[in-house]
Structure 1
């Protein structure tokens, strides 16, 4: 079996590239505190965007926003407040998005993006 000629790119790097291509600015990647981690934090036209990233294989899989349980949503909201408290601001608008990186053998990874997922 031949090794894959292209190195595996981390999901957060693929999504960051996607967001930059969509005109967003990346503020933080893999921000961690003792309570957890936020994969990506971006700026989109005055809105601070917290991005939850899921990696999926095809098929079958849940639609990514449906795969984020209420408990995970609450955890991301709490983590976002901690991140915002560390910043100089002002931070008036926030949004929670979900990105799915779809992996299929023999194909390039695909990014599916869901704005204001929860």
Structure 2
């Protein structure tokens, strides 16, 4: 389990570095409420972006972005509303991005950023 947690933290750091390199401003990381957790909340050119990060060590169980199902997207939407109620952002524009990261034991890291999946 510790390896999985470490892999997830590493993936989230890679995702944050990627987002910042793309000009996003990170507003929150691992924001929690009773309903769950948002991995990353960022601002991209005046739009609030709720980013789900999925990290795996391989694709034996499918690509990481495939783990973000319609049920998961609906949950992210509810969490986004809770975040907005808590933080009261000025902007009303919102979207959900997904970042899938594969960190193989040997070889190059692969990062896939899907913008506006919801």
TM range (shorter): 0.7 to 0.9
Name the counterpart of 1:22: 22
Q: Deviations over 1:36-64 (max 9, x none)?
A: 00000000000000001111333442361
With the length of structure 1 as denominator, give the TM-score of the two structures: 0.84
CA deviations over 1:5-50 (Å, ceiling 9, x no partner): xx96621111000000001100000000111000000000000000
Q: Are the equivalent residues in 1 in contact too, given 2:64–2:101 (CA < 8 A)?
A: no
Higher helix share: 2
Q: CA RMSD in A?
A: 1.9
Query: 1:13-92 residue pairs with structure 2 within 5 A?
Result: 13-60=13-60, 61-62=62-63, 64=65, 66-92=66-92
Deviation at 1:113, TM superposition (A): 0.5
Gaps of 5+ in 2: 1-5
Aligned positions, number: 111
Where has structure 1 moved over 2 Å in runs of 4 or more?
56-60, 107-110
TM-score by length of 2: 0.84
